[in-house]
Amino acid sequence: MANSDPRIETLEREITTLVEQRQTLRAAGAEARELERNRREIVARQHTLSETLISIYAPQPAFAIA
């Protein structure tokens, strides 16, 4: 199943960028506050990605189709 929805592609790119930023922050010995801000951004994007995937691929209840 291909992820052709641009929302998914955008969110995946954003998550990748944030993870790369996190690795850079850790390597540079960033403060806990910076790491926490980055972690929260990653979590927020992952949550949005999950909701987007569910809205696209989850079966719809029969009563919602009518």
Q: Cα–Cα distance between 55 and 62 in angstroms, integer?
A: 15
Show me where the domains of the chain are located.
Answer: 7-57
Q: Cα–Cα distance between 1 and 56 in angstroms, integer?
A: 12
- Tell me the torsion sign for CA atoms 43, 48, 50, 51: positive
What pTM, to 2 d.p., does this model score?
A: 0.83
pLDDT at position 4 is 83
pLDDT tens digits, 3-39: 589 999 999 999 999 999 999 999 999 999 999 999 9
